[in-house]
Structure 1
Amino acid sequence: MSRLRVYARIARVLIVVTLGLTMAGVFGVFERIGLAHSMERRQRWSRFFMARLGNALPFRMTVHGELPKQPMLWVSNHVSWTDIPLLGMLTPLSFLSKAEVRTWPVAGWLAAKAGSLFIRRGSGDSQLIRKQMTRHLQTAHPLLMFPEGTTTDGRSLRTFHGRLLSAAIDSEVMLQPVAIRYLRDGEIDALAPFIGDDDLLSHLMRLFSNDCGDVEVHLLQPIACQGRERAALAFEAQQAVQKVLFGEVAKPAEPRRTGELIAA
Structure 2
Amino acid sequence: MPSPATWHSDPPEMPPLGPGGWARVAGKGTALGAVVFGGLLILLLIRFVEKPVHGTHRPWTPWVTQGVCRAAFLILGITHRTHGARMSEPGAVVANHASWLDIFALNARKRVYFVSKAEVAGWPGIGWLARATGTVFIERVAQKAVAQRDVFRTRLTAGHKLLFFPEGTSSDGLRVLPFKSTLFAAFFSDELRDLMHLQPVTVVYTAPDGADPRFYGWWGDMGFGEHLLQVLGAPRHGAVDIHYHAPVKVGDFADRKTLARYAEGQVRSAFPEVAELS
Q: Same fold (TM over 0.5)?
A: yes
Partner of 1:223: 248
- Change in Cα spacing, 1:54 to 1:122, as seen in structure 2 (3 Å) is farther
- Change in Cα spacing, 1:123 to 1:58, as seen in structure 2 (3 Å) is farther
C-alpha distance in structure 1 between counterparts of 2:212 and 2:250, whole Å: 32
The 5 A counterparts of 1:34-183 are 38-122=57-141, 124-169=143-188, 170=192, 172-183=195-206
C-alpha distance in structure 1 between counterparts of 2:174 and 2:145, whole Å: 29
TM-score with structure 1 setting the length: 0.83
Query: Aligned partner of 2:199: which letter?
Result: Q
Partner of 1:194: 218
Unaligned runs of 5+ in 2: 1-17
Partner of 2:8: none
Partner of 1:207: 231
Displacement of 1:227 after TM fit? 4.4
Displacement of 1:107 after TM fit? 1.6
CA offset digits 1:60-116 (Å, max 9, x no partner): 112111122233310000000110111111122211111111001122112112111
TM-score with structure 2 setting the length: 0.79
Do 1:42 and 1:115's aligned partners in 2 also have CA atoms closer than 8 Å? no
C-alpha distance in structure 1 between counterparts of 2:220 and 2:259, whole Å: 29
CA offset digits 1:150-179 (Å, max 9, x no partner): 100122221212222244442522110001
Worse-matched range after superposition: 110-119 or 185-194? 185-194
C-alpha distance in structure 2 between counterparts of 1:195 and 1:142, whole Å: 25
- Change in Cα spacing, 1:62 to 1:28, as seen in structure 2 (3 Å) is closer
Unaligned runs of 5+ in 1: 251-264
Query: Aligned partner of 2:86: which letter?
Result: L
Displacement of 1:17 after TM fit? 2.1
C-alpha distance in structure 1 between counterparts of 2:112 and 2:186, whole Å: 16
Partner of 2:260: 234
C-alpha distance in structure 1 between counterparts of 2:35 and 2:90, whole Å: 28
Worse-matched range after superposition: 222-231 or 160-169? 160-169
Aligned alpha-carbon RMSD (Å): 2.6
- Number of paired residues? 248
Q: Percent identity?
A: 28
